[in-house]
Amino acid sequence: MSDIRQKVASEVQLILKDLYDLEVEQVDLQETRKDFEGDVTVVVFPYLRASKKRPEETGEEIGNALVERLDEVSGFNVVKGFLNIVIGGAQWSTAFREMAEHPQWGFQKPDPNAPSTMVEFSSPNTNKPLHLGHIRNNLLGASVARILEAGGKNVVKVQIINDRGIHICKSMLAWQKFGEGETPESSGLKGDKLVGKYYVEFDKHYRAQIAELVEGGMEKKEAEAKAPLMKEAQEMLLKWEAGDEEVVSLWKTMNQWVYSGFDETYARLGTEFDKNYYESETYILGKADVDKGLDKGVFFKKEDGSVWIDLTDEGLDEKLVLRKDGTSVYITQDIGTAIQRFVDFNIDSLTYVVGNEQDYHFRVLFLILAKLGYEWADKLYHLSYGMVDLPSGKMKSREGTVVDADDLMDEMEQTAREIAEELGKLDGLEEEEKGELYRKIGMGALKYYILRVDPKRRMMFNPEESIDFTGNTGPFIQYTFARIQSLKRKADALPAVDYDAYELNERERELIKVMSQFPKVIQQAGNEWSPALVASYTYDLTKQFNGYYQSTSILNADTAAEAAFRLKLASTVGGIIERGLGVLGIEVPERM
């Protein structure tokens, strides 16, 4: 059906040229609103200056020309400035045949020789485990990568691990002082949770020292700087930077604990990366690029020796890129890391999946890279997403009040178990099969609930609300897929499908019409970096199918030929649901 849409759009271009001597680069077709007759709509307002006629007249002229030129167009109607075009029934049967006979219909195969696009996401700190905010980041990044691949792009997935700095030293110092040699093996804790435990431990003792100093008459700000623990952590950081053997050894050991813990969490989330970048290696990047920028006049040096860029003409301000002692700041590292990535991989674009608190940072970074003369700077994109809140309030990692990612996933599986057992959805299944289903349902609920929200929006996550077998939820869509699989298992031997002989009823025509939008949705979701578009489409398709299922006999059709066609229609819907949920990282169960 995507072909007929393209055919209509191309023909409208020719008609505009013939009727009004108007050349347009492309004609955008919209889906016709449900309260009007038609399948696709052309908005004629942009062409009125050339036609020199009223919207209704212009629409009539274009519509008449379309009916005359294209056999696929069976009629049209004009509502004000909207030309609603009716596609003939035979075209829907042809479109369905294409969908049904191509298992990966809707997806495009990437050209292995074409440049890739890079997606950076996750990017955790090694002083604590992943939390709910990381879950949204990971789900967005991994889903965007899958959507881009489904749209025909080669994709490279990377993360940068923040494995250096004072926050790392806080965990290390607390472990040295209070850990008594505790390890993941001896404690039974995942490595990232063990290290996070000592990050909280540091803060607890540090606050106690501050309170003691304030009680002794010191100002709070001075107490924060002079607390013995903070001074020790700063000394440890200096030792790390100087390559102290003992400190570096401990740093490597504790970081490895964290990486092992992260890997377990990533596996549960369905997250993987093609390359990890480490801040302990990238922090030296960017200085040489700043020197080149100084020579070009992109940057300027102040009297104290610090280096800046003036972005006031762009509505921003002056931004520091090198301190007076020659050390870099975060923007310096990001400049160098971006450049290094285009050296490391054959990429032509790069997307950063980072929360919206970093909007300003990325505006500055992209402007600097453009001023340095990198042509790919206009192919950099910041997928800026909103924070995730819980009914219980904000998260604070220093105080140990974050919602741990592993704990949340455990809770989702347990909630899925409780609701499914209460509804009796899984009666008759073996315990092992039930356990696997609880995992799929729980993770499907979590992923869908988060990804159905526009990334730019701040969101409230309610675990219990997300696991519902009715409404706009992952389990509702999964249940529909399982229902289709059940139909396929129950079906007796049926004849081969005769696409041309079967006469579509109105519900089938409408269902195929929704199905036909899938490739366009995948492309649009990739262009807008929005998994929410795929989630919304998959839910709409599921609702449309359930309406058809309730009103139409599938296996008990009047003839075997009808049953064969309708089962093929149901099976093809199931395939699109599976692919739609698949790019969201959601698994589909064969039975529920």
- Ranking 11-15, 399-403, 430-434 by mean pLDDT, the lowest is 399-403
* Residue 428, pLDDT score: 75
Long-range contacts of 486-494 (CB under 8 A, 24+ apart): 486/591, 487/554, 487/555, 487/567, 487/570, 487/571, 488/567, 488/570, 488/571, 488/574, 490/555, 491/555, 491/563, 491/567, 494/560, 494/563, 494/564, 494/567
Contact indicator for 165, 128 with CB cutoff of 8 Å: no
Confidence of residue 282 (pLDDT cuts 50, 70, 90): very high
Confidence of residue 380 (pLDDT cuts 50, 70, 90): very high
pLDDT, tens digit, for every residue of 445-454? 999 999 999 9
pLDDT, tens digit, for every residue of 103-145? 999 999 999 999 999 999 999 999 989 999 999 999 999 999 9
Contact indicator for 140, 383 with CB cutoff of 8 Å: yes
Within the chain, what is the greatest distance between any pair of CA atoms?
92
Angle, CA 52 vertex, CA 46 and CA 56 arms, to 5°: 70
Angle, CA 83 vertex, CA 77 and CA 85 arms, to 5°: 65
β-bridge partners, 319 = 309
Distance, in Å, from the CA atom of 262 to the CA atom of 134, rounded to the nearest integer, reads: 11
462 vs 392, residue with greater confidence = 462
Q: Residue 420 corresponds to which tokens in the numbers above?
A: 């499914």
560: helix, strand or coil = helix
Distance, in Å, from the CA atom of 412 to the CA atom of 438, rounded to the nearest integer, reads: 9
Distance, in Å, from the CA atom of 55 to the CA atom of 43, rounded to the nearest integer, reads: 9
* Residue 2, pLDDT score: 55
Return all residues near 71 (Cβ < 8 A) that are at least 6 apart: 88
Average pLDDT of span 161-184:
95
Residue owning tokens 């904000």: 394
Segments making up each domain of the chain, as ranges: 2-87, 405-583
DSSP state of 271: -
415: helix, strand or coil = helix
Contact indicator for 508, 587 with CB cutoff of 8 Å: no
Is pLDDT at 395 greater than 60 in this prediction?
no
Q: Report CA torsion sign: 476, 478, 479, 481.
A: positive
50: helix, strand or coil = helix
E strand or H helix at 308 = strand 307-310
Confidence of residue 394 (pLDDT cuts 50, 70, 90): very low
Is pLDDT at 577 greater than 60 in this prediction?
yes
Distance, in Å, from the CA atom of 32 to the CA atom of 86, rounded to the nearest integer, reads: 9
Distance, in Å, from the CA atom of 563 to the CA atom of 552, rounded to the nearest integer, reads: 10
Return all residues near 349 (Cβ < 8 A) that are at least 6 apart: 117, 118, 376, 379, 380, 381
pLDDT, tens digit, for every residue of 181-213? 999 999 999 999 999 999 999 999 999 999 999
Tell me whether the CATH fold assigned to 2-87 matches the one assigned to 405-583. Answer: no
Average pLDDT of span 514-539:
97
* Residue 258, pLDDT score: 97
* Residue 397, pLDDT score: 40
> What pTM, to 2 d.p., does this model score?
0.90
- Compute the mean pLDDT over every residue in the chain, rounded to the nearest whole number: 93
Q: Which CATH number fits domain 2-87: 3.30.1360.70, 3.40.50.1820, 3.30.420.10, 1.10.645.10?
A: 3.30.1360.70
Is pLDDT at 399 greater than 50 in this prediction?
no
Confidence of residue 421 (pLDDT cuts 50, 70, 90): confident
DSSP state of 487: H
Return all residues near 422 (Cβ < 8 A) that are at least 6 apart: none
DSSP state of 306: -
* Residue 32, pLDDT score: 92
Other beta carbons within 10 Å of 577 = 23
Share of the chain above pLDDT 90, in %: 84
* Residue 401, pLDDT score: 53
Instruction: Assign residue 5 a region (left: φ > 0; alpha: ψ between -120 and 50; beta: otherwise).
Output: alpha
Other beta carbons within 10 Å of 206 = 20
Average pLDDT of span 470-491:
95
* Residue 34, pLDDT score: 83
Q: Residue 168 corresponds to which tokens in the numbers above?
A: 């790392």
E strand or H helix at 476 = helix 474-490
CATH class of segment(s) 405-583: mainly alpha
* Residue 425, pLDDT score: 66
Is pLDDT at 400 greater than 80 in this prediction?
no
Other beta carbons within 10 Å of 319 = 19
Is pLDDT at 385 greater than 50 in this prediction?
yes
Confidence of residue 513 (pLDDT cuts 50, 70, 90): very high
pLDDT, tens digit, for every residue of 3-18? 788 889 999 999 999 9
349 vs 71, residue with greater confidence = 349
* Residue 591, pLDDT score: 86
